[in-house]
Amino acid sequence: MGPLKGKSILGINELTPDEIQFILSVSQDFKRKWRSGEPHEYLRGKSLAGVFNTQSTRTSCSFETAMTALGGHMLWLDKHRVWCGEAGAENWHDTVKTLTRYVHGIAHRPVTREMLEETAALATVPVINASCPVEHPTQAFADVMTMMEHGGGSVKGAKVAFCWGYGELNPPAGLTNSTLAMATRLGFDVSIACPEGMDPDPRYIKEAMDGQVDVGNKIEIVHSYEEATKDADFINIYGWVSPEIFAEGPATGYRGNPEFAAYKHTLKHWIVDEKVVSSAPKRVKVMHCLPAARGEEVTDGVLDGPNSIIFDEAENRMHTIKALLALLMA
Ligand code: CP
């Protein structure tokens, strides 16, 4: 189905602006077809292995429903179904090599990027990153599609206030990095608002921007919501921790080491509430990739309020993932 066929996608920084625009236009076409009931079974008879080493609602359900609508099938593989690479389980390489004898693609949500890279290196079929600590490319596609829908068809020149919020269980910084990579390819501004000490790792910012063309956009890191939301078209709430903290994983309940957890407890005032939203222009739209830590990182009033577009964003996970699957696997 075109030049992306057979490719793996581990990060946005592997894609050109033209490829991203093409994927978004196919996503829009699939959304139209899905709404009008027009068949689009480009993957009839094909199977996808959906390997989820951590929990997932939106990503896993989007992959599964997308495969069904494309005429194919997804095998939902977690530690209850297969030997999933945990301590004492089957050698991960053997699992991947086995899976590639059965399926036409693998969607993988690992705990570390290294594990995802191993999957991609061993697999003879396309591998899609279903969120790793360093990138969450499929979420970034849905976010951009949603911004286009609510921003007059284009994201060029738009401003996103990317706001860190406190949560007991913070996700890794993958979406932060993927958003920066999108911004430097499609030309929107990102103002990251986070507490001192939670700045995104410069190594990953550099990596996210790797290969960028000069699209004249602005990326900044500030330490107050008000600075970021000034002139913002979108507020995107995401309370990340570093990949290293997240990688401490099950042993710490993904909360990080005790020293970090104690520091994080001092950040409970980092909550996006109605006052924060009202400091932005009236037109501002509120986004959150979900799951949200309601009452911790963001208030109910903001998530359920008139500026919120969170469920359009959630729906667009399916349309964008469907486009990726069709373009890589058909
Ligand atoms: N946004 C997102 O990745 O949601 P899930 O963790 O539920 O897949």
Distance CA(138)–CA(128), nearest Å, equals 8
Q: Give the tens place of pLDDT for each residue, 303-325.
A: 999 999 999 999 999 999 999 99
Q: How far, in Å, is the centroid of ligand 1 from the Cα of 55?
A: 8
Ligand 1 centroid to residue 59 C-alpha, Å:
5
What's the rounded mean pLDDT across residues 103-132?
96
**pLDDT more than 70, % of the chain:** 97
Residue by residue, DSSP assigns 21-65 as: HHHHHHHHHHHHHHHHT----TTTT-EEEEEESS--SHHHHHHHH
Q: How many CB atoms lie within 10 A of CB 75?
A: 17
Query: Model's pTM, two decimal places?
Result: 0.96
Interatomic CA distance for residues 1 and 254, integer angstroms:
39
Atom of ligand 1 nearest to the CA of 61: 8
CATH placement of domain 139-315: 3.40.50.1370
Contact residues of ligand 1, CB 6 A cut-off: 56-60, 131, 139, 289-291
Tell me which long-range contacts 75-78 makes (C-beta under 8 A, separation of at least 24).
75/47, 75/48, 75/49, 75/50, 75/102, 75/103, 76/50, 76/52, 77/49, 77/50, 77/51, 77/52, 78/51, 78/52, 78/53
User: pLDDT tier at 213 (50, 70, 90 boundaries)?
Assistant: low
Is a pLDDT exceeding 80 seen at residue 212?
no
Would you list the domain boundaries of the chain? 12-135+317-329, 139-315
Q: How far is the CA of 290 from the centre of ligand 1 (A)?
A: 6
Query: What pLDDT does residue 273 have?
Result: 98
List the residue whose alpha carbon is closest to atom 5 of ligand 1.
56
Q: Which CATH class is domain 12-135+317-329?
A: alpha beta
Band of pLDDT at residue 95, cut at 50, 70 and 90? very high
Domains 12-135+317-329 and 139-315 belong to one CATH topology: yes
Residue closest via CA to ligand 1's atom 7 equals 57
Extract the tokens encoding 238.
Answer: 């995401």
Closest CA to 330 of 131, 15, 72: 72
- Which of 114, 112, 122, 133 has its CA nearest to residue 49? 122
List pLDDT tens digits, range 69-78.
999 999 999 9
